[in-house]
Structure 1
Amino acid sequence: MSKDKTPTIPEDETGVPTVGLSRRELLAGTALTAAAVTTTGLPLSTAEAATTIIVQEPALVPGGGYQYGEVLPILPPKQAPITEPDWRKVPQPANFKVRPPKGAPNVLLVLLDQVSYSDPSTFGGSTKFPTPDKLAAEGLTYTNFHVNSLCSPSRTALLTGRNQHQNSQAAVVDGATSYPGDTGMRPKSVAPIAEILRQWGYCTSMFGKSHETPPWETSVSGPFDRWPARQGFEKFYGFIGGEKSLFRPYLVDGTTELGVPRAENYHFSVDMTDKAIAWVRATRALTPDRPFFMYYAAAGAHPPHTPPKEWLNKYNGQFDKGWDKLREEILERQIEMGLMPPGTKLAENPPEIAKWDTLSADAKKVLARQMEVYAGYCEHTDREIGRLIQAVEDLGELDNTVVIYIAGDNGGTAIGGLNGTFNEWSNLNSAPEDIPYLLTRLAEYGGPNSYPNYSVAWAMAGSTPATWCINACQGGGQNQGMVIRWPKGFQSKGEIRKQYTHLIDIGPTILEAAGIPEPKWVNGVEQIPIAGTSISYSFDAPTAADRHTVQYNECSGNRSMYKDGWLACVMHRAPWEDHPRVDDYAKDTWELYHVAEDFGQAVNLADKNPEKLKELQDLFHEEAIKFGVYPMDDRSFERLNATNAGRPDIMAGRTEMTLYAGMTGMAENVFIDTLSRSFVITADIEVPKGGADGVILSQGGLFGGWSLYIKEGKPKFAYNWLAREYYYIEGTEELPEGKVTLVHDFSYDGDGLHKGGTGRLFINGKQVGEGRIDKTQGAVYSLAGETADVGMDAYSPVCDDYDPWDNAFKGTINVIKVKHKEA
């Protein structure tokens, strides 16, 4: 950027900066200007005011062409060189601060995970959501709000105000490719709203789930540029990956990996809320002059559907009626509540979704239980959000806080498939669970020994009056509910707004509420303009014309184009399908809906109005080029393999990995591949006098993985196949005292994924054990949910053959090598 483009602080004729306080006020220390009043209305101390320059109100920079804030950071004024050596003769220079405009509100942004549009009671659902119910009564309900159809694209759009491909997040970050709109690496030309607010003096924090960091950047080696703590959130507490066990999560504080919390009856939703409340209390106590921005990204209701024990049975019997009747009841309530107009029709479910009345008694028992647990999980998640909001109110800050509550990020989940799962990783490893098996695990469903996910049919029901779910660019894959409360920002209360709105509108709305301009340069990088539109125009104008009139959506070849109340869309690959329905995008069958009159997309008008369909198809092509959508990648699980996808991989080409003591918390993407292949583990260890015990090396956990460990002095290898089958190979001899080389050699049967193999144990070159492992997980253990760990089995245990907490190796690990046998 040239020097004439760099904003500077205006100076008076004496060379003293004139923003905030005059030279006379600085020297005299007897007067306060408006700029020296904090956003809470508390004046600065006289001493601080006398020695402080505060940039608080955006103002044009003479000759620069920018407002303050359009170039960040706002730099302090240049000081002339000091030539006087004696401090007694040199007036003390003024300090420099940047603060948001007077009256800028706090912002609490809440996002739930994989909750469907009409699950909450606020939007006609059968699940109690008292928090948005109360916020809606005191604020505004937006019924025509929209999201992207996958997690990472939605979250990055929410936090930046730009479309998913501008953020280079076409799909979940774990499946990134090397195409420009799909690298998983948000460019520096897209500054997050949190970074903008931080540079204006907001206290910023994030609690919960972040699923935007590229998996190859999640190791101790970094880089940490795209971790939340380096994306504008000065405080981050939660997890980096897509999901975690809520009872034994792998957590991060800032960029520091934490051990598993060992509190009795621990649950992450409670923990993250406790941490959020503690943070907001501390910042109000220490810096009441600085408003806060908190992003509360709930883990609920993403799988695993595991609420605390006392919430498991709150909805017993309430879903025995099934999903067909549930949809009818929801639509009836939506019409009564004024959310949908009379005459609204239910969209037909896809043919794969069975009619409830055709199911067996066992199937109904299993499937109803899945929804009972899910509903309890949802209500508990909302209870925790309500607890946070109550804490803000107790501090006297709620009325000066913009509370934005978004009930879900991408529609209900489909990974459970048609039957649902007891262990979600079963479906991802091509080992679906049938109803008879699920029935045997029903007593444990939703508890700490399960990792469950409901049937996709419940996600469809939660999309009423539409159908579809995650991955779909229509219906429940993009419809969502949103509530906003801000008594100091608008007069309307308890009203419904039906203007078309989208995730990308939230960022500019926050900036407008704070009185902060959209920056054009941030940290030396010119910015891509924000794509969203502030929704403030609708706050006190219920019939205002829509300002967001055009919006595309794309996910794995599924795509849609919205314009002025019309939606054209394509189902290229259904959420539960491994492969696209056609091998050429030109062969896709498009649908057309007049969503301004048919919100549920029940009546396909493609044949009746081909001109409108062609208009929207052409517009999608234009928008796709404009925002970097092309090429569209319709692969499914193949994208989980970094080589196939063409993304960076710190293990790329590695056939051997050397490990040392203390290396724990290695997620699947930063550990050498042990899936569907032969490999050898060689551990050089030292056995103390009296013998050794504990885990030497493990990968995965309670719901799938393996562990090499010592028990009663003898080596053992355990393989956990999806928490369904366990295989043990046990050595017949004890390890001798002193230096020992312990080897586990696994020979894979080959011929595709998920096959078995033979394992052998060696002590100092002598074979001491052998056994069969009939089944292996060939695609994934748990991505980022569980880890590989040297010297222990951290987070959740692979097997129950050792203590789940105190299983560290009692000896010395010098070095461990894991090597592919083919090398």
Structure 2
Amino acid sequence: MFSQSNEVDRTHLPIAEPDPPKFKELDVRSVEAPPLFNVEAPEGAPNVIIVLIDDVGFGATTPFGGPINTPTMDRLAAGGLRYNNFHTTALCSPTRNALKTGRNHHQTNTGSIMESATGFPGNTGKIPNRVAPVAEMMRLNGYSTGAFGKWHETAAWETSVSGPFDRWPTHSGFDKFYGFIGGETDQWYPLVYDGVTRVNPPHVEGYHFTDDMTDQAIGWMKAQQSMTPDKPFYMYFATGAVHAPHHVPKEWADKYKGQFDKGWDQVRTETVAKQKEMGIIPEATQLAGRPEDLSAWEDLPEDHRKLFARQAEVFAGFMEHTDVNIGRLVDAVEAIGELDNTIIIYIAGDNGTSAEGGFIGMYNEMTYFNQVEEKVEDLLPRLDEWGGEYTFPHMSAGWAVAFDAPFKWTKQVASDFGGTRNGMIVHWPEGIDSQGEIRSQFSHVIDIAPTILEAANLPEPKSVNGTVQEPMAGTSLMYSLNDADAPEQHTLQYFEMFGNRALYQDGWFARVLHRAPWQTGQQKPLEDDVWELYNAKEDFSLVNNLANQYPERVAAMEALFMEEAEKYNVLPIDDRTVERMNPAIAGRPDLMGDRKSLTLYDGMNGMLENVFMNSKNKSKSITAEVEVDKGTTGVILTQGGRFGGWSLYMKDGRPIYTYNFLGLERFTVAAKKPIPPGPATIVMDFDYDGGGLGKGGDATISVNGKKVASGRIGRTQPLIFSADETADVGLDNQTPVADDIGVGPVATRFSGTINKVVLEIE
């Protein structure tokens, strides 16, 4: 098959096809057909696998001195390179979009996560065409491309069946996608998409999403190489682990029994000692102080220590389980003879370890996003099931600080290396001469895309799919692969997240610590922030503030930050957090807009929260026109799941409404008698108390105009039900709001007929 891959201009993608030849011959048998045009990757171009772990910090894993066993990372580090000065953006969606485009996160309009987008440039969540993803560049240059696992790069209001699908994976450069669209998923009952189609994962005993996505990735890679062995592949393998919920089979958590009883302070100390011994950090590095809000381990009551130790065991088991699955992928690449010419970039964290679990951790992570405080006495009875399907857990912030050693801060804190510095391993036998070495040049997640292009001998395109491209902001790391002493080439980088902001310049680091991750309320004015200064070349953990010694440098770097912030659409800075999840507050697009009524039909299920009618903090009514038989059972309309939501359903012919408050409390209003078979209009009216967010109200159920039940809903969720549980008509797709009619789409299927359901809000 004819290819012009080495003769054409690859700076304008897609590569233009040549004009077809003209023929004068009448009979096709008298001439030969010309070779077909086919774009091939440059000769010898490597396969590429990007592995991105979620929410694991610099000091968590064994290759970087941490306590969590990661045999695959160890193996790849021994045969490749460890980067100990690599940085992310301090939050997931921004890091992912920076990774996939080679541009700063505000250039991709991802100043924070997709769900907290606003109406301002740099924060809209809508990725512009002028920053095409590297996957699309690879695909248009002859690569097969596949993405597996977590996405979290599509605007929240673009996740409905109506699309647009431009910013979904299979319209963003990937031939294949298998994973979840949002920021997190229940690992036991995930919301899975194959391309743009929602699919139910396999119903097998012991199912876990990480196992499933790994099977899918291996199957795709083997099939692709079988069918087209000369065509390289580009794979993005982004696990949901170890983001909350921390879900892992119990035997993996039990591997760490007792190992964290020593507490987070001792773990930090031991990690730093190990890091020095391994050469991961300089010998002179000081362990940064613990944040003042966090207790010393020795000051905690015994029951607190017991709870917190188990939280760490589950987290560690989750990480090791994930790493072992990645090992299965690496083994599969080796088994087909492709490991030597595959560049594997294993990034241990899209930010630092998450402190969003607060001071005691959470049985249900959604309590954080609803600003509801859990208590130790409520969590202790759940200890034996921690990490299982009946929990949606997060660990205490004390462990986040420990797993980010030697640094002080964590995820969300873009102005501390605990939030942004993540271990990275590069393994490429045919491209790297040395093994087991460390690279210490400053680098950033925006450097990955240009590195991939240079490794594949591809130019950065000037235009993609008809749109002139904004140049990549990153710097290729190829210069450092075979030269540990090469001068760093990425010498200027801004950081900003929720008001925490900083600037790196030629080894100096100026910063503002504006808010802690557990502070979700209104903060002090941005103008009152005080800038600090550190010599990052000599002060690895940022403990010696030199601002008073070099005030002129502080002023100059603060001014330079403002220049970079204006250049990349960082301004105006928005330090609001969970309240931005509400589009009415954030000013971002809302698919429902000002609509007060939504008509739904049977078969409409899998509707994510951000594309469904927002009924929180207001009165609502549900009117269902149905046909029932004797003993009709199943869901009429539901939103959310086991860890928060509401459901109107029938059991044994009786209409029932259940409100599940964060899995902590359930309020149920139920008819005492079955309704007669035949057509019926079932109405559930909820009269909200008002007077603020998260209040209660009175619920009434009527059938054909006659009241059959009423009761009190004590309190409601003010801000969010779930990250990926859905609204469904005629069934409850994942975990159930009320499990007295079963679990899953088959068991909860409405056994009667639903003609239509109308949801109306005040």
Same fold (TM over 0.5): yes
Does residue 796 of structure 1 match 2:756?
no
C-alpha contact (below 8 Å) 2:114/2:153 kept by paired residues:
yes
What CA distance in whole angstroms lies between the structure 1 residues aligned with 2:729 and 2:269?
A: 53
Secondary structure of 2:663's match? coil
Instruction: Please say which of residues 669-678 and 110-119 is displaced more in the overlay.
Output: 669-678
Query: Which residue, out of 504, 507, 517, partners 2:446?
Result: 504
Using the TM superposition, give the Cα deviation of residue 84 of structure 1 relative to its aligned residue in structure 2, in angstroms.
Answer: 4.2
Partner residue in 1 for 2:436: 494
Partner residue in 2 for 1:4: none
Q: Deviations over 1:613-661 (max 9, x none)?
A: 1121111111112212111111122211112111111111011100001
Secondary structure of 2:418's match? helix
Does residue 741 of structure 1 match 2:681?
yes
C-alpha contact (below 8 Å) 2:523/2:575 kept by paired residues:
no
Partner residue in 1 for 2:664: 724
Partner residue in 2 for 1:606: 547
C-alpha contact (below 8 Å) 2:179/2:192 kept by paired residues:
yes
Does residue 565 of structure 1 match 2:513?
no
4+ aligned runs moved over 3 Å, structure 1: 80-85
Taking structure 1 as the reference length, the TM-score comes to 0.91
Does residue 448 of structure 1 match 2:389?
yes
Partner residue in 2 for 1:53: 2
Does residue 402 of structure 1 match 2:343?
yes
Partner residue in 2 for 1:526: 468
Give, as a single letter, the amino acid of the residue that structure 2 aligns with 1:526: V
Question: Matched residue pairs, number?
Answer: 759
Taking structure 2 as the reference length, the TM-score comes to 0.98
Using the TM superposition, give the Cα deviation of residue 574 of structure 1 relative to its aligned residue in structure 2, in angstroms.
Answer: 1.6
What CA distance in whole angstroms lies between the structure 1 residues aligned with 2:334 and 2:26?
A: 53
Q: Deviations over 1:800-819 (max 9, x none)?
A: 21111311001110010011
Partner residue in 1 for 2:719: 779
Instruction: Tell me: CA distance 1:705–1:580, structure 2 relative to 1, closer, same or farther (3 Å).
Output: closer
Using the TM superposition, give the Cα deviation of residue 124 of structure 1 relative to its aligned residue in structure 2, in angstroms.
Answer: 0.4
What CA distance in whole angstroms lies between the structure 2 residues aligned with 1:255 and 1:724?
A: 34
Give, as a single letter, the amino acid of the residue that structure 1 aligns with 2:452: I
Q: Deviations over 1:311-361 (max 9, x none)?
A: 121111111111111111001000000111112101112210111111111
Partner residue in 1 for 2:72: 131
What CA distance in whole angstroms lies between the structure 2 residues aligned with 1:281 and 1:519?
A: 29
Instruction: Tell me: CA distance 1:446–1:699, structure 2 relative to 1, closer, same or farther (3 Å).
Output: same
Partner residue in 1 for 2:40: 99
Using the TM superposition, give the Cα deviation of residue 732 of structure 1 relative to its aligned residue in structure 2, in angstroms.
Answer: 2.4
Give, as a single letter, the amino acid of the residue that structure 1 aligns with 2:742: D
Structure 1: unaligned runs, 5 residues or longer: 1-51, 60-67
Q: Deviations over 1:244-285 (max 9, x none)?
A: 000000100000011253221100000000000101110111
What CA distance in whole angstroms lies between the structure 1 residues aligned with 2:282 and 2:132?
A: 40
Instruction: Please say which of residues 735-744 and 144-153 is displaced more in the overlay.
Output: 735-744
Partner residue in 1 for 2:136: 195
What CA distance in whole angstroms lies between the structure 2 residues aligned with 1:432 and 1:131?
A: 37
What CA distance in whole angstroms lies between the structure 1 residues aligned with 2:528 and 2:320?
A: 43
Does residue 515 of structure 1 match 2:457?
yes
Partner residue in 2 for 1:581: 523
What CA distance in whole angstroms lies between the structure 2 residues aligned with 1:82 and 1:572?
A: 71
Does residue 807 of structure 1 match 2:748?
yes
What CA distance in whole angstroms lies between the structure 1 residues aligned with 2:7 and 2:65?
A: 43
Does residue 420 of structure 1 match 2:369?
no
What CA distance in whole angstroms lies between the structure 1 residues aligned with 2:253 and 2:309?
A: 13
Instruction: Please say which of residues 338-347 and 153-162 is displaced more in the overlay.
Output: 338-347
Q: Deviations over 1:560-613 (max 9, x none)?
A: 100111111111122111235322x22111111111111111111111221221
Give, as a single letter, the amino acid of the residue that structure 2 aligns with 1:57: N
Give, as a single letter, the amino acid of the residue that structure 2 aligns with 1:492: S
Partner residue in 2 for 1:379: 320
Give, as a single letter, the amino acid of the residue that structure 2 aligns with 1:574: A
Give, as a single letter, the amino acid of the residue that structure 2 aligns with 1:543: D
C-alpha contact (below 8 Å) 1:418/1:457 kept by paired residues:
yes
C-alpha contact (below 8 Å) 1:238/1:252 kept by paired residues:
yes
C-alpha contact (below 8 Å) 1:260/1:795 kept by paired residues:
no
Partner residue in 1 for 2:623: 682
Using the TM superposition, give the Cα deviation of residue 154 of structure 1 relative to its aligned residue in structure 2, in angstroms.
Answer: 0.2
Using the TM superposition, give the Cα deviation of residue 156 of structure 1 relative to its aligned residue in structure 2, in angstroms.
Answer: 0.4
Partner residue in 2 for 1:330: 271
Using the TM superposition, give the Cα deviation of residue 429 of structure 1 relative to its aligned residue in structure 2, in angstroms.
Answer: 1.6
C-alpha contact (below 8 Å) 1:248/1:261 kept by paired residues:
no
Using the TM superposition, give the Cα deviation of residue 152 of structure 1 relative to its aligned residue in structure 2, in angstroms.
Answer: 0.5
Using the TM superposition, give the Cα deviation of residue 733 of structure 1 relative to its aligned residue in structure 2, in angstroms.
Answer: 2.9
Using the TM superposition, give the Cα deviation of residue 58 of structure 1 relative to its aligned residue in structure 2, in angstroms.
Answer: 5.4
Give, as a single letter, the amino acid of the residue that structure 2 aligns with 1:53: F
Partner residue in 2 for 1:634: 575
Secondary structure of 1:441's match? helix
The within-5 A match list for 1:167-178 is: 167-178=108-119
Partner residue in 2 for 1:250: 191
Query: Which residue, out of 685, 689, 695, partners 2:635?
Result: 695
Give, as a single letter, the amino acid of the residue that structure 2 aligns with 1:425: M
Give, as a single letter, the amino acid of the residue that structure 2 aligns with 1:692: T
Q: Deviations over 1:442-493 (max 9, x none)?
A: 1221111000001111111111111111110112111111000111112111
Secondary structure of 2:614's match? coil
Instruction: Tell me: CA distance 1:706–1:580, structure 2 relative to 1, closer, same or farther (3 Å).
Output: closer
Query: Which residue, out of 313, 318, 342, partners 2:283?
Result: 342
What CA distance in whole angstroms lies between the structure 2 residues aligned with 1:98 and 1:541?
A: 33
C-alpha contact (below 8 Å) 1:691/1:736 kept by paired residues:
no
Using the TM superposition, give the Cα deviation of residue 91 of structure 1 relative to its aligned residue in structure 2, in angstroms.
Answer: 3.4
Give, as a single letter, the amino acid of the residue that structure 2 aligns with 1:498: S
Give, as a single letter, the amino acid of the residue that structure 1 aligns with 2:37: F
Structure 2: unaligned runs, 5 residues or longer: none
C-alpha contact (below 8 Å) 2:282/2:540 kept by paired residues:
no
C-alpha contact (below 8 Å) 1:58/1:516 kept by paired residues:
no
What CA distance in whole angstroms lies between the structure 2 residues aligned with 1:171 and 1:512?
A: 29
RMSD of aligned residue pairs (Cα, Å):
1.2
C-alpha contact (below 8 Å) 2:492/2:506 kept by paired residues:
yes
C-alpha contact (below 8 Å) 2:261/2:305 kept by paired residues:
yes
Secondary structure of 2:707's match? strand
Give, as a single letter, the amino acid of the residue that structure 1 aligns with 2:199: L
Partner residue in 2 for 1:5: none
Give, as a single letter, the amino acid of the residue that structure 1 aligns with 2:736: P
Query: Which residue, out of 705, 709, 714, partners 2:649?
Result: 709
Instruction: Tell me: CA distance 1:647–1:58, structure 2 relative to 1, closer, same or farther (3 Å).
Output: farther
Q: Deviations over 1:135-185 (max 9, x none)?
A: 111111100000001111000000111110111100001111111111111
C-alpha contact (below 8 Å) 2:180/2:192 kept by paired residues:
yes
The within-5 A match list for 1:760-771 is: 760-771=700-711
Query: Which residue, out of 285, 288, 296, partners 2:229?
Result: 288
C-alpha contact (below 8 Å) 2:579/2:719 kept by paired residues:
no
What CA distance in whole angstroms lies between the structure 2 residues aligned with 1:526 and 1:427?
A: 41
Using the TM superposition, give the Cα deviation of residue 86 of structure 1 relative to its aligned residue in structure 2, in angstroms.
Answer: 2.8
C-alpha contact (below 8 Å) 1:643/1:652 kept by paired residues:
no
Using the TM superposition, give the Cα deviation of residue 776 of structure 1 relative to its aligned residue in structure 2, in angstroms.
Answer: 1.2
Give, as a single letter, the amino acid of the residue that structure 1 aligns with 2:634: G
Does residue 550 of structure 1 match 2:499?
no
Using the TM superposition, give the Cα deviation of residue 82 of structure 1 relative to its aligned residue in structure 2, in angstroms.
Answer: 4.1
Secondary structure of 1:398's match? coil
C-alpha contact (below 8 Å) 2:631/2:651 kept by paired residues:
no
C-alpha contact (below 8 Å) 1:423/1:450 kept by paired residues:
yes
Instruction: Tell me: CA distance 1:322–1:691, structure 2 relative to 1, closer, same or farther (3 Å).
Output: closer
Q: Deviations over 1:35-80 (max 9, x none)?
A: xxxxxxxxxxxxxxxxx32022256xxxxxxxx1100111211125
